[in-house]
């Protein structure tokens, strides 16, 4: 190791020079000890307080952001809940209009059936047949005792026959009336079934209505909680948002895959339209055109979904007059249809180009590749490509739904991430602040370690002085103790404990020195 020339105090010995420099620097450091300590402490304190302040402000910002996130979350949740409740009411309304509007008719039908039943029941009641009037007149004749007179016997016989005939007729009439009554009763069965069915239907409808109303109740409860801005509601909405974010992200990733396939399907034939070697900003114009077509399709899909009011990304479309909205819906659909047709055409063109390329390559490389190709089956791939070209734009339309969820949930997710980041940042700042504070203390200790030798000498010198002074003080203290008495000393024992300990230690040290 060599020292610079200006540091060489002794030209013959670098080590000696270094030692001298070391001593000089140690002495200088010892001399500057107090201001150096102050400077180190002040710097570390400044850093500590500045970082602490910064950390506090970051925490404040985090708190504000958290509050804002909650507000946004609750507002979004409120809006979503309102939509759900609105839909539920619309469903109930539709249900009431569709099914319960038949209620008066049903009631009338039931009433008619009941009346008819009542009538039939009345008709079916059994009325005992009235005994014929002339039987009473015959009764005295019948009471005549049988005699030998053939005339009388003849009369009685004819009367008996007449009676039998009358009974038979009455029985016949009774049977007929019974049959009629049974018929009425039989006719009552379908009416009863009809009434039963109508009542069942009504019961089912009422059950459905009750279920719907309980759903509305549940949503209303949640809505109330959101309105009251409770933590539970915020937590519920936050977790729901996270779920939505991941699900929507997954569906969007699938949709992007579909868009990529779509892009590959039309980018090559696009070269026929806009040229294959024209570039714009480093990208092929054909690729840009293909991408633009896909993006226009997605936009049309968004407008279509907005017009149908499935999504609400553009409030202005939702707020349009119904007539204009329907027109917009039709226009979007027509554009989408035309673009899908264009894509189908391009897909067909792609197939032609591929066939041409394959034929060219086969011709150039010796025609080996074409030998085993069955050209008759090419229509399958052509049809498949055209079908994909036509269907994919319509499938891409449905991107709007996950996109809406994704956009809404992204705000929440990013908010949560930002809060977490701010919290970690604040924690980091506080940690660095504390580190600077304790590192200041450590630096002071290291400083003292470097100048340990002068400090040791100082402690030796000052130790002797202080021991003498302390001996005198101790002596004075003993005298005072003796004078004032033990009681006073005991009273103040707690206060003097530390001082006593120090004094005891000093005494021990002095004794050790004396011994040495």
Partner 1 sequence: MKSYILAFLLIVGFSACSTGPHKAHNRGVYMLIDTSGTYTKELDKAQQIINYTLSQLQSGDSFVVASIDTGSFSEKDIIAKVSFSDRPSQANQQKRAFQQKVKQYIKGVKSSAYTDITGGILLATEYLNERDTRKKTIMIFSDMKQELKKGYIRDIPLKLEGFEAIALNVTKLRSDNIDPREYMDRIKLWKGKVEKGEGKWEVINDLERLDQIIKE
Residues that bind partner 1 (CB under 8 A): 268, 271-272, 275-282, 285, 352-353, 356-357, 360-361, 363-365
Q: How many C-beta atoms surround the C-beta of residue 268 within 10 A?
A: 19
Both tokens assigned to 386: 């055209």
**Least spacing, CB of residue 292 vs partner 1, in Å:** 13
Q: At what angle do helices 400-450 and 33-98 cross, to 10 degrees?
A: 170
Tell me whether residue 10 or residue 279 sits nearer to partner 1 (CB atom): 279
Tell me whether residue 276 or residue 428 sits nearer to partner 1 (CB atom): 276
Tell me whether residue 193 or residue 378 sits nearer to partner 1 (CB atom): 378
Tell me whether residue 153 or residue 295 sits nearer to partner 1 (CB atom): 295
Asked if residues 185 and 124 have their Cβ atoms less than 8 Å apart, the reply is yes
**Least spacing, CB of residue 267 vs partner 1, in Å:** 11
**Least spacing, CB of residue 58 vs partner 1, in Å:** 40
Both tokens assigned to 236: 């519920």
Tell me whether residue 360 or residue 479 sits nearer to partner 1 (CB atom): 360
Beta bridge partners, 280, equal 283
Nearest to 71 by CA among 237, 248, 312: 237
**Least spacing, CB of residue 393 vs partner 1, in Å:** 24
Distance CA 275, CA 429 (A): 57
**Least spacing, CB of residue 270 vs partner 1, in Å:** 10
**Least spacing, CB of residue 268 vs partner 1, in Å:** 7
- DSSP E strands in 2-156: the ranges are none
Distance CA 199, CA 197 (A): 5
**Least spacing, CB of residue 417 vs partner 1, in Å:** 36
**Least spacing, CB of residue 273 vs partner 1, in Å:** 9
**Least spacing, CB of residue 269 vs partner 1, in Å:** 9
Asked if residues 416 and 238 have their Cβ atoms less than 8 Å apart, the reply is yes
Tell me whether residue 350 or residue 408 sits nearer to partner 1 (CB atom): 350
Tell me whether residue 279 or residue 431 sits nearer to partner 1 (CB atom): 279
Distance CA 448, CA 26 (A): 10
Nearest to 451 by CA among 38, 43, 37: 37
Both tokens assigned to 342: 């264009």
Tell me whether residue 190 or residue 363 sits nearer to partner 1 (CB atom): 363
Tell me whether residue 268 or residue 506 sits nearer to partner 1 (CB atom): 268
Q: Write the DSSP symbol of residue 365.
A: T
Run of H or E including 283: strand 283-284
Residue with structure tokens 């933590």? 231
Both tokens assigned to 418: 């930002």
Beta bridge partners, 279, equal 284
Tell me whether residue 279 or residue 421 sits nearer to partner 1 (CB atom): 279
What length is written for the chain?
Answer: 516
Looking at 145-230, list the stretches that DSSP marks H as alpha helix, in order from N- to C-terminal side: 150-227
Nearest to 47 by CA among 347, 429, 451, 365: 429
**Least spacing, CB of residue 362 vs partner 1, in Å:** 10
Give the CA-trace dihedral at 249, 254, 257, 259, to 10 degrees: -90
């Amino acid at each position: 190791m060599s020292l610079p020339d200006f540091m060489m105090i002794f030209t013959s010995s670098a080590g000696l020079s270094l030692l001298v420099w070391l001593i000089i620097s140690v002495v200088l450091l010892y001399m500057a000890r107090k201001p150096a300590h102050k400077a180190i402490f002040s710097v570390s304190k400044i850093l500590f307080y500045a970082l602490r302040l910064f950390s506090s402000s970051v925490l404040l910002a985090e708190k504000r952001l958290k509050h804002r996130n909650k507000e946004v979350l609750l507002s979004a949740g409120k809006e979503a809940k309102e939509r759900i409740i609105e839909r539920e009411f619309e469903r109930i309304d539709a249900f009431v209009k569709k099914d319960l509007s038949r209620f008066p008719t049903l009631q009338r039908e039931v009433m008619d059936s009941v009346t008819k039943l009542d009538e039939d029941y009345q008709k079916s009641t059994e009325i005992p047949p009235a005994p014929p009037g002339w039987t009473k007149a015959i009764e005295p004749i019948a009471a005549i005792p049988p005699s030998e007179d053939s005339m009388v016997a003849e009369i009685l016989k004819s009367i008996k026959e007449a009676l039998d005939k009358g009974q038979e007729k009455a029985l016949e009439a009774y049977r007929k009336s019974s049959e009629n009554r049974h018929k009425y009763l039989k006719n009552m069965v379908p009416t009863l079934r009809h009434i039963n069915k109508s009542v069942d239907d009504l019961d089912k409808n009422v059950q459905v209505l009750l279920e719907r109303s309980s759903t509305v109740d549940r949503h209303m409860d949640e809505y109330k909680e959101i309105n009251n801005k409770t933590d539970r509601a915020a937590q519920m909405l936050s977790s729901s948002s996270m779920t939505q974010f991941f699900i929507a992200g997954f569906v969007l990733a699938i949709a992007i895959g579909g868009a990529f396939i779509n892009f590959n399907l039309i980018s090559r034939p696009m070269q026929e339209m806009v040229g294959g070697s024209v570039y714009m900003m480093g990208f092929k114009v054909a690729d840009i055109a293909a991408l633009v077509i896909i993006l226009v399709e997605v936009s049309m899909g968004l407008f279509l979904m907005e017009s149908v009011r499935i999504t609400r990304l553009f409030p202005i479309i939702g707020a349009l007059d119904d007539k204009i909205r329907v027109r917009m819906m039709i226009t979007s659909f027509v554009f989408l249809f035309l673009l899908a047709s264009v894509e189908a055409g391009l897909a067909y063109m792609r197939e032609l180009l591929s066939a041409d390329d394959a034929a060219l390559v086969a011709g150039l490389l010796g025609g080996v590749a074409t030998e085993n190709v069955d050209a008759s089956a090419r229509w399958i791939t052509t049809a498949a490509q055209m079908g994909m070209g036509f269907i994919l734009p319509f499938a891409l339309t449905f991107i709007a739904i996950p996109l809406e969820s994704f956009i809404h949930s992204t705000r929440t997710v990013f908010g949560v991430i930002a809060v977490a980041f701010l919290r970690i940042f604040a924690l980091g700042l506080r940690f660095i602040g504390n580190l600077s504070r304790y590192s200041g203390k450590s630096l002071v200790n290291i400083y003292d370690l470097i100048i340990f030798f002068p400090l040791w000498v100082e402690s030796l010198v000052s130790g002797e002085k202080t021991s003498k002074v302390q001996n005198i003080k101790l002596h004075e203290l003993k005298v005072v103790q003796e004078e004032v008495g033990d009681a006073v000393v005991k009273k103040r024992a707690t206060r003097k404990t530390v001082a006593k300990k120090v004094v005891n230690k000093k005494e021990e040290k002095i004794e050790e020195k004396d011994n040495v």
